[in-house]
A and B are shown apart, each in its own frame.
Chain A
């Protein structure tokens, strides 16, 4: 066992990790931050996406010790400082971008990374960027709509059910 430190949602944290400890396990079991979900555990589904030094990664496929010293942001660090939902989270609620919610933390983290790189993405760019995030409930349409809305674009012409 080694004690490793990293910055998680702006706070420096230290906890024990073994060589085999995944970043997802370090966050969930080590720090109790269970907002990061583990769906497939094989880097396919994107439920576990967090930001490492500003970039989205699948935390189930990164070793905690390999990112010691990095800045990590998880879904727990996304709300506004007064505790209200941020623009992306609020748009997911307003546009029914979630049903069971299992994929949602990864979707929000991926969407936040997209909007940081590309503040006004097209619908095609959103679909392309979210390719690694799988949702078994929504059919994606309302997720894409929520990301469009969160980027300040007019979604009134986007039907809730039409496939593009």
Chain B
């Protein structure tokens, strides 16, 4: 790999200051960033490791929400969110494989906004709020298309606040080679409304399926989705699946998520 500098601050304020340097980029689990640097798809001059900052780690309950530090690993979320938000914990426990889950983090996944990643569906489907080093951003404003987010270059995600729904589940159709979602649906029932977020389908990245939300808000049952379909236009087409196949899978996975919600 090409040469770069590495720093590992112990506090968030030191990390925020380090991010202001020219060519600086945050390093969390490195499960996405290091492979892309090896391929020169990305070439920061200085990596700022977030792995030594205790205040960025951990899962805590705050009234009706679960607040999770950006540098919390998928393994930690799978374990520590299980009692309060089982649908979210189950999603974290299905990301990649155990070794990926031991390094990969919530903040890294959400900042990266891979169109087939799992966490963006939970963040958007829960109506979560992304807290950064500068401000708070609603999930509806955060995701801005494939690999694009509202974050500035020097902005760090510090934590994500997930309102806890009455019932929720994530249904993932595994793409067996990458272990990402070929298509996945996150459904959350808040009692006064239902949110449905879809990943791995649209060329615009994660999105809310508003027709399904309306139908499920009236009747939270998979049968409420009968007859609802999405157009294939704008869906991802690649060697793993055509746009038509993905549009079909969206409806199938949403039904499965409704049936599995608890």
Report A's interface with B, CB cutoff 8 A. Answer: 18-20, 22, 41-43, 46, 49, 52, 55-58, 61-63, 65-66, 110, 113-114, 129, 131-133
From 34 to 69 in chain B, residues with beta carbon under 8 angstroms from any chain A beta carbon are 34-35, 38-39, 47, 49, 51
With the chains together, A149 CA to B216 CA distance in Å?
A: 48
Partner of B8, one of A61, A65, A129: A65
Q: Is B167 an interface residue (CB 8 A)?
A: no
Tell me whether A20 and B102 are in contact (CB under 8 A): no
Q: Which residues of A are found within 8 Å of B129, using beta-carbon distances?
A: none
With the chains together, A94 CA to B26 CA distance in Å?
A: 46
Tell me whether A61 and B34 are in contact (CB under 8 A): yes
Tell me whether B38 and A41 are in contact (CB under 8 A): yes
Q: How far, in Å, is A112 (CB) from chain B's closest CB?
A: 12
Tell me whether A61 and B49 are in contact (CB under 8 A): no
Partner of A113, one of B4, B96, B98: B98
Partner of A61, one of B3, B5, B30: B30
Partner of A56, one of B49, B51, B102: B102
Q: Which residues of B are found within 8 Å of A41, using beta-carbon distances?
A: 35, 38
Total residue contacts A-B, CB cutoff 8 A: 76
With the chains together, A161 CA to B27 CA distance in Å?
A: 43
A19-B47, A20-B2 are known contacts. Are A66 and B30 too (CB-CB below 8 A)? Answer: yes
A58-B100, A61-B103, A132-B179 are known contacts. Are A20 and B75 too (CB-CB below 8 A)? Answer: no
Of the candidates A52, A114, A132, the one having the most CB atoms from chain B within 10 angstroms of its own CB is A132
Tell me whether B31 and A43 are in contact (CB under 8 A): yes
Tell me whether B99 and A66 are in contact (CB under 8 A): no
Q: How far, in Å, is A85 (CB) from chain B's closest CB?
A: 23
Tell me whether B103 and A58 are in contact (CB under 8 A): yes
From 70 to 115 in chain B, residues with beta carbon under 8 angstroms from any chain A beta carbon are 75, 96-100, 102-103
Q: Is B147 an interface residue (CB 8 A)?
A: no
With the chains together, A124 CA to B97 CA distance in Å?
A: 14
Give the interface SS of chain A, mostly helix, strand, loop or mixed.
Answer: mixed
Q: Which residues of B are found within 8 Å of A132, using beta-carbon distances?
A: 96-100, 179
* Tally of chain B residues near chain A (CB < 8 A): 26
B37: nearest residue on chain A (CB-CB)? A20
With the chains together, A63 CA to B99 CA distance in Å?
A: 15
Tell me whether B4 and A20 are in contact (CB under 8 A): yes
Q: How far, in Å, is A56 (CB) from chain B's closest CB?
A: 5
Tell me whether A19 and B102 are in contact (CB under 8 A): no
Q: Is B17 an interface residue (CB 8 A)?
A: no
Q: Enumerate 25 A-B pairs (CB-CB under 8 Å) in ascending A order.
A: A19-B3, A19-B6, A19-B47, A20-B3, A20-B4, A20-B6, A41-B35, A42-B39, A43-B35, A55-B75, A55-B102, A57-B99, A57-B102, A61-B31, A61-B34, A63-B27, A63-B34, A63-B47, A63-B49, A66-B6, A66-B30, A66-B51, A110-B98, A110-B99, A132-B99
With the chains together, A142 CA to B51 CA distance in Å?
A: 37
Q: Which residues of B are found within 8 Å of A63, using beta-carbon distances?
A: 6, 27, 30, 34, 47, 49
With the chains together, A18 CA to B47 CA distance in Å?
A: 12
Q: Which residues of B are found within 8 Å of A18, using beta-carbon distances?
A: 3
Q: How far, in Å, is B26 (CB) from chain A's closest CB?
A: 12
Q: Which 5 A-B pairs have the closest CB atoms?
A: A132-B97, A19-B6, A42-B35, A55-B102, A131-B97
Q: Is B239 an interface residue (CB 8 A)?
A: no
Q: Is B228 an interface residue (CB 8 A)?
A: no
Tell me whether A42 and B97 are in contact (CB under 8 A): no
A61: nearest residue on chain B (CB-CB)? B34
Of the candidates A55, A61, A114, the one having the most CB atoms from chain B within 10 angstroms of its own CB is A61
Q: How far, in Å, is B39 (CB) from chain A's closest CB?
A: 8
With the chains together, A42 CA to B47 CA distance in Å?
A: 18
